Structure 1
C-alpha cells in the first residue's frame, strides 16, 4: 500500500547546512530536515519521516533556510509562514503542526521561491491566480485564510502552486483527459472568489493533477 509521492532533483552544492527537505502530511504536520541527513542513501531507502497512525505524506519541498511555506487544505483555506517557524529535526521525527485542517486535509504545499503568484485549482476544473501578498504571513499551526470560495459548482480545492504567471498550465483529469493552456488565460482574482472554469469535467469526473511547464513557443506548436 505504499507509493511514490514526489521526486526532488538536487545539486551537490545544495547538500549543505543551509538547505532542507520540508515534509508535509495529510493531517497538517510539517517537518524540516537538513539535506546532509540524506547524503548517503542505500538502495533499500532510508527513513525520512515517522508517520502517525492514519496520516500520510502529501509532498516534500527543497528549501533554502529563508523560504516561506504555503499549505492549502481541501476546504479552500491556506496558511503562509516562515520555514524557520519549524525547527530542524532528525529523520525519525514525525513533525509539528503546520496547519489546523479543521476536519479537512492538506492537498498541497508550495513556496515563495517558486513564484510570486498563487495558482489554485478545484476538483471541478475552476481556477485563478492571486498575488502572494494577499496571503498574510502568520505563524504555523493556524487555520489559515480563505484562498477560494468553495461551492457545489467548483468543488473542493485540489491543487496549489506558486507561479510567475508567464508559464503554461497542464491540467489532467481522473478520466485521463489533459489540456494545456497559457497561464495568461487564468484570471487574476482575489482570495475569496471561486475562480473561472479552466477545463470542463464530466459528471463524476474531477481534476486529479496539474503541472506548470515552460511556455510552449509558436514554432514548437506548429511542429506538432
Structure 2
C-alpha cells in the first residue's frame, strides 16, 4: 500500500477513515468523555498524503481518541437546537415514549441560553434532519442523544462533555445510530449482549443514561458495534421466530439517572 498519513508522535496511529463532503460535520469523541463537532471544511485539503494534517481535538493528558463519525450539517443556532430538543421530548412524553425530560445538556462556556420560539415549519425541518448518537461507557451505562446537543464549533479545542464521567474512567464507544438499528456490546469478561437501539432512552449528552448490560465486579465493556440485520434474521422474524445464532436481547434498560 501507500502512506496514508505521516505519524510523528511515538505510539500514534490512524483511528478511522471516512468518506465525507463539504456539507457534513466531523464528530470526534475521546475516551475521557469529550466530544467536538466541526465542519468538514475546517480541515484543509493537503497536497500530499505524507503530511501530519491539522488538530481536530485537543486531548488532555492520558486521554485518547476512540471514535470519528460523519454527521450531516444543518444550519441551526444553539438556542434553536435547545428549543427543538425540548419540543421533541415533550412530544415523546405526550406519546408515552419518554418519562424524563432531561434531554438537553446544561449550557457550557461559550454556549447561549436564551429561549426562542420555533415555527411549525422549522420544527418539521429540524425533525426531518435530526440524527442520534449512541454513547456507551465502560461501566455498561449508555444513552442516545440528539446530534443537535453536540453544537458545531471550531476544531482544535477540547470540545464539550459527551457523558457524565463522574463514576466511570472511560467511554467504550460513541457513534451515530438510527431507529431499527441493532447494537452488540462485548465485555472483557466474555459477556455479549445484543439489543435494539430503540430500547435505549434518549437523554442529554452530559448524563450517564441507562444500564445496557449488568457487569461483574471489575468487568468492563470493551467493544460496541452496530450490526446489520442478516437475511436469516429477517426471515426468522417473518416466520415468528428468532434466528438460531442470535444472542439474547435484554429486557428494557434500567434507568440510572
Scaled to the shorter chain, the TM-score interval is 0.7 to 0.9
Root mean square deviation, CA, Å:
1.8
Counterpart in the other structure of 1:170:
184
Counterpart in the other structure of 2:8:
52
Counterpart in the other structure of 1:102:
60
Alignment of 1:175-214 (within 5 A): 175-214=189-228
State the aligned residue count.
178
Contact 1:117 1:165 in 2 (8 A): no
CA distance in 1, matches of 2:164, 2:243: 40
Gap runs ≥5 in structure 2: 73-129, 245-257
Which stretch has the larger CA shift, 72-81 or 171-180? 171-180
SS at match of 1:57: coil
CA distance in 2, matches of 1:47, 1:110: 22
TM-score by length of structure 2 reads 0.65
CA distance in 1, matches of 2:172, 2:8: 23
Q: Deviations over 1:50-85 (max 9, x none)?
A: 112222222221213322100011221100001110
Contact 2:34 2:160 in 1 (8 A): yes
Give the structure with the higher percent strand: 1
TM-score by length of structure 1 reads 0.73
Q: Among residues 99, 111, 114, which one is paired with 2:70 in the alignment?
A: 111
Contact 2:21 2:40 in 1 (8 A): no
Q: Deviations over 1:120-162 (max 9, x none)?
A: 111111110110011111111011011111022x441121101
Write out the 4+ residue segments of structure 1 that deviate beyond 3 Å after TM superposition. 214-217
CA distance in 1, matches of 2:137, 2:204: 15
CA distance in 1, matches of 2:136, 2:51: 32
Give the structure with the higher percent helix: 2
Q: Deviations over 1:93-146 (max 9, x none)?
A: 011110011222111111115x81011111111110110011111111011011
Contact 1:120 1:160 in 2 (8 A): yes
CA distance in 2, matches of 1:59, 1:176: 25
Counterpart in the other structure of 1:147:
162
Q: Among residues 140, 146, 163, which one is paired with 1:131 in the alignment?
A: 146
State which structure, 1 or 2, has the greater radius of gyration over its C-alpha atoms: 2
